[in-house]
Chain A
Amino acid sequence: MIERYHPFLHQFPPGASKELQIFSILAQSFFQPFSLMDNLLVILTALTAGSGLGFNRAMLLLADGDVLKGEFWLGPASPEEASSIWEVLSTPGIGYTEIIEHNRNLVASEANPLVQQVKKISFPLFEENPTIPALAASSREIIVVRDAFREPLVDRQFLDILKADEFLCIPLLSQDEIFGEIILDNAITRLPIQSRDIELASICGLAAGNYIYVTKLQKRVIEMKKQAALGEMAMFVTHQLRTPLVTIGGFIDQLLDPKTNAAKKKRNLRIIRSEIARLERIMLRLTRFFRIDIKEKVPVNIQEVFKLITESLKYRLAGRRIVLKTEVQPGLTSILAEPVHLAEALRNVVENALDALADGGHVFLRAYRENKDWAVISVEDNGRGIPESIKGKIFDTFVSTKEKGIGLGLAYVKRFMEACQGKIVVDSQEGKGTTFKLYFRSGGWE
């Protein structure tokens, strides 16, 4: 015999212990997309819901640098509001989901007086003699304040806002960081805070601290990934520029040598000029790669693009047994794209095809409609094909199989196609050839 339970949907009966009630409310955070503020709201709900810990009000303060700032405050603003809200919330059929939704609207409401007041709260952390509330976070201790109006450690301005003579401060912490604080009170029912309430609230505080910690970790990971990519980029640019610079430097040194004769000087200048041209080409390619920003698509005549490409690559066909053919399906005249990027992207693909043909072969450029959704430009060659080992990586930045390859060509094509909301399909067999198909969205052609 087996029994089955849904792991995320525990809802214990109202008679169950407070511990179980709190756990089940906290479990709510597991089946919603992870959002820090939502999850903190769930915790405050667990602390205030009648079936949870049942505190009247819960205030969340978050550390922002060295300052503790009010973030949100959950609870009724007056005894009258309290009785009406609690009545609604105790209606049969109202579950945690509804309560959380209700609370979400409550803290989002600008008209809510608690929301207006909590935003005014700001206390410096780590002062020499911190007052309450900052004391709990600074000292990493849970503090219960009773008879608050006579307690000199409580900040008077804070008390003016809170207006409760008994309250509980729960610091939100990780091992080495202070994230904030939760303030709980029973300002309306005036029920005393029990030691069991303190223990359970402290567990909720740990959960909240943990949420904040995880969120910060996630942010740090993303930041590190970005930095790693930037570092890789910087390295790559350095290497690309180093060879031409080294060459230029070396030949200039020769120019400076009085023993160098006139013919050699002239030759050196020619070499230097060609290396400078190479630097320019590298920079042009880099700028183009980082600046794909298609603001406006215009109809681009496919025949003209094909013509442009075949013209610009003529020099590469000279002396090679390569046939470069083009064909445009009748009726398909233009596609909507950015003409400069389209020509450049297509030239990249065709150049790759030419590179794949060592001893000759054919490259076939075609444009046709595939169905009502897509217009396709395909580039087919019968060259050596893409090795199995790098098939998954051909669109990655800085991956190249060519001796002087920067590894930007196909990465650029991919970025261009993404900017066009199109797609690329590659079909390649080693030894037989490769076909690249660039798919442009419908409406992208007439």
Chain B
Amino acid sequence: MKKKKRLLVVEDEKNLCLLYREELTKEGYKVTTVSDAETALSLIKKQPFDLIITDIRMPVKNGIELITQIMALRKDIPIIINTAYQSYKHDFMTWAADAYIVKSASLDELKSKVRELIG
């Protein structure tokens, strides 16, 4: 059997973490969720991930800072920004991500983007 691809979801909303974990697990991925950027960074240093999904507005350190630091650590990890805000599209640092998704009640776009990026 093929090894499951590993996703890291950075999301400070507890209920959304649960939803993403369940739904992406159903899609056949091994999903880890964390609620802040610092924990995400320390995990990325220790474990290999195939894709990272991150929110932008989070306490302490926001998703944009997180992306910058991930890029410095490992340039090759695909990153999906998943946020409630359209406006960060104008922030050029978000261009470094592989996809920008505005949170929606349907997870179809997120799922198909993950599929497209890592299969």
- The interface of chain A, by Cβ under 8 A from chain B, is 235, 239, 242-243, 245-254, 271, 274-275, 402-403
Whether the pair B58, A248 counts as a contact (CB closer than 8 A) is no
In the complex, the chain B residue whose C-beta lies closest to that of A250 is B19
Using known A-B contacts A254-B22, A275-B15, determine if residue A248 contacts B105 with beta carbons closer than 8 Å: yes
Which residue of chain B lies nearest to A402 when distances are taken between CB atoms in the complex? Answer: B59
Please name the residue on chain A nearest to B107 by beta carbon: A250
Q: Is B118 an interface residue (CB 8 A)?
A: no
Residues of A within 8 A of B85 (CB): 239
* C-alpha spacing A239/B59, complex, angstroms: 16
**A249 touching B84, Cβ below 8 Å:** no
A-facing residues in B7-65 (Cβ within 8 Å): 12-13, 15-16, 18-19, 22-23, 58-59
Shortest Cβ distance from B46 into chain A, in angstroms?
A: 25
Within 8 A of A (CB), among B55-110: 58-59, 84-85, 87, 103-107
Identify which of A248, A254, A274, A275 gathers the most chain B CB atoms within 10 Å of its CB.
A254
- How distant is B100 from chain A, measured CB to nearest CB, in Å? 15
When A and B form their complex, which 8 residue pairs have the shortest distance between CB atoms, in order from nearest?
Answer: A249-B105, A403-B59, A242-B84, A250-B19, A246-B103, A247-B15, A239-B84, A271-B15
Knowing A253-B106, A253-B107, A254-B22 are in contact, say whether A246-B16 is a contact too (CB < 8 A): yes
Report how far A236 CA is from B16 CA in the complex, Å: 20
Cβ distance B55 to chain A, nearest Cβ, rounded Å: 10
- CB-CB under 8 A from B18, the residues of chain A are 271
Known: A243-B16, A247-B15, A250-B16. A403 touches B58 (CB 8 A): yes
Asked if A246 and B84 sit within 8 Å, CB to CB, the answer is yes
Main SS of chain A's interface residues? helix
Contacts of A254 in B (CB 8 A): 19, 22-23
Nearest-CB residue, chain B, relative to A254:
B22
Residues of chain A within 8 A of B105, CB atoms compared = 245-246, 248-250, 252-253
**Does B22 contact A246, Cβ atoms closer than 8 Å?**
no
Cα A402 to Cα B60 with chains together (Å): 9
Q: Chain A residues with Cβ under 8 A from B58's Cβ? A: 403
Given A235, A248, A403, which contacts B87 in the complex, CB threshold below 8 Å?
Answer: A235
Give CA–CA (A254, B87) in the complex, Å. Answer: 29
Shortest beta-carbon distance, A181 to chain B, in Å? 47
Q: Contact check, A403 vs B12: say whether CB atoms are below 8 A apart.
A: yes
Give 20 CB contacts A-B under 8 Å: A235-B87, A239-B84, A242-B103, A243-B13, A243-B16, A246-B84, A246-B103, A246-B105, A247-B19, A249-B104, A250-B19, A250-B107, A251-B15, A253-B105, A253-B106, A253-B107, A254-B22, A254-B23, A274-B15, A402-B59
Find the A residue at minimum CB distance from B55: A243
Residue of B nearest to A240 (CB): B84
Which residue of chain B is the closest to A242 with respect to CB atoms?
A: B84
CB closest chain-B residue, reference A403 = B59
